[in-house]
Structure 1
């Protein structure tokens, strides 16, 4: 624009000196006006009818710009009659060009800062959703621990009088279990192998409670042991299976946990027998399974990762853990 201004003024039979000064003054003042608009838009973005106000300011700035050009250039070259005439005759054209350019500056500034504000708003929204999700996940884990702890303490209390050695052993195992829980609170993802080691601690406690009535079997494919799983996910579902399989029966119950890789998922199934005469499959869909369902939804945004079926006196819960993300 500076070059164009200089060339036009020189083309109209004005010396190079006047053409250069005219260009520098015109473009310099217009640049300052544009920067003023951009600076204003950084702190104030118009909306709705406020657009009229911002473009009114562009109009005022264009008038001020033209007046300053007139005053400054007339001060330096007012004695040049030919240039003074050209200056006065060009003021309407200068005003039109200045207003259009300032309007363009304004529109570009509004679009730019609106996009930036939208990005910041989206980032804040995502951060808030992330914090809310993390808080809910933490709450779900915290709700499960008192539930299990309450049952364990009741069992220890019952064992103290009749089987004090088993009560002591159960206290030690409970201590190890809770210590592992605290360590894993800060870990989002662990390998299936680590999760099963943690699950063994829980099952040892339950076997003290139920004695020979409870037996477990793991059917784990080798390739699945290093696949990733949300920490502390399996204990609630196994606790649900124990509750569903043992509480309404007096005989021996076997809980079977199987795991394999299927496509891009880690597939985990937990099965337990139940007596339809004394138990209802509805009882097996309590807080434990609901908490897992909710946790999986918060992590993956899907509601189809946990399914439960009751068939032929067997209750089966199947969890699918997507392995498409990097869970380091």
Structure 2
């Protein structure tokens, strides 16, 4: 029993050290991205393009961008949010992306009432959806639909984001880019598990599933 307690304490200290390092790395990443942040850069480009021909649309997008950034700042003080809150904030991002891509991008979000009240780390879904848009839309001129489905199982809140995938023009990889790898790392530091983010290719669809343990009450305080 004593050995187990010592080993558990050692593991907790190791994970705390990892969390501190991730925090430093994330801040360095944020500082680098401030020079030319991908999402903000694209949004401002779209606003600039709309300003001349569709000033009303440009003003609307400015408002959406402001609300999105304001919400992101507020979430920095929260360790967890309800899925309902997360999806509400995600919708601001999706509205801007739909304004950028017009009829080419549509989304379908499905979540039952139980799932909407479950908790997850804030800002977890945006990089997953951004990855889906990148794979689903950037390599085609066709219209696509990205789906997000949330359900409550016995142990998990399970959220799956799915986008069309053409194997001839795209090559999805496990943990693609900083976005998905950072999500996977955050989940490990919170829950000490490496099996909570799963990517898969099935027929002509690429999916990312994130699983949030429902009964780990200590995870957000670690």
Determine which of 191, 200, 209 is the counterpart of 1:300. 191
Q: Within the alignment, does 1:198 sit opposite 2:53 as a pair?
A: no
Query: Can you list the C-alpha shifts for 1:287-311, whole angstroms capped at 9, x where unaligned?
Result: 2111111111121121111011112
**Residue 142 of structure 1: CA displacement?**
3.8
Query: Can you list the C-alpha shifts for 1:116-161, whole angstroms capped at 9, x where unaligned?
Result: xx9xx97xx5796276157258539947883321221222233333
Larger relative contact order (Cα-Cα within 8 Å, sequence gap ≥ 6): 2
Query: Aligned pair in 2 of structure 1 residues 140, 271: CA closer, same or farther (>3 Å)?
Result: farther
Query: Aligned pair in 2 of structure 1 residues 141, 208: CA closer, same or farther (>3 Å)?
Result: farther
Using the size of structure 1 for normalisation, the TM-score is: 0.57
Determine which of 193, 196, 220 is the counterpart of 2:111. 220
Give the 5 Å matches for 1:9-28: none
Query: Aligned pair in 2 of structure 1 residues 222, 287: CA closer, same or farther (>3 Å)?
Result: same
Tell me, yes or no, if the aligned pair for 1:140 and 1:291 is still in contact at 8 Å. Answer: no
Q: Within the alignment, does 1:237 sit opposite 2:125 as a pair?
A: no
Question: How many pairs were matched up?
Answer: 208
3-state SS, counterpart of residue 282 of structure 1: coil
- Give the equivalent residue in structure 2 for 1:281: 172
**2:89, 2:142 → 1: CA distance?**
27
Gaps (5+ residues) in structure 2?
Answer: 1-5
Query: Aligned pair in 2 of structure 1 residues 164, 299: CA closer, same or farther (>3 Å)?
Result: same
Determine which of 66, 69, 73 is the counterpart of 1:175. 66
Query: Aligned pair in 2 of structure 1 residues 223, 293: CA closer, same or farther (>3 Å)?
Result: same
Choose between structure 1 and 2: higher helix proportion. 1
Tell me, yes or no, if the aligned pair for 1:191 and 1:225 is still in contact at 8 Å. Answer: yes
**Residue 283 of structure 1: CA displacement?**
9.4
**Residue 284 of structure 1: CA displacement?**
7.9
Give the 5 Å matches for 1:93-172: 129=17, 132=20, 135-136=23-24, 139=27, 142=30, 146-172=37-63
Rg (Cα) greater in structure: 1
**Residue 276 of structure 1: CA displacement?**
2.1
- Give the equivalent residue in structure 1 for 2:3: none
Gaps (5+ residues) in structure 1?
Answer: 1-117
- Give the equivalent residue in structure 2 for 1:187: 78
**1:203, 1:322 → 2: CA distance?**
26
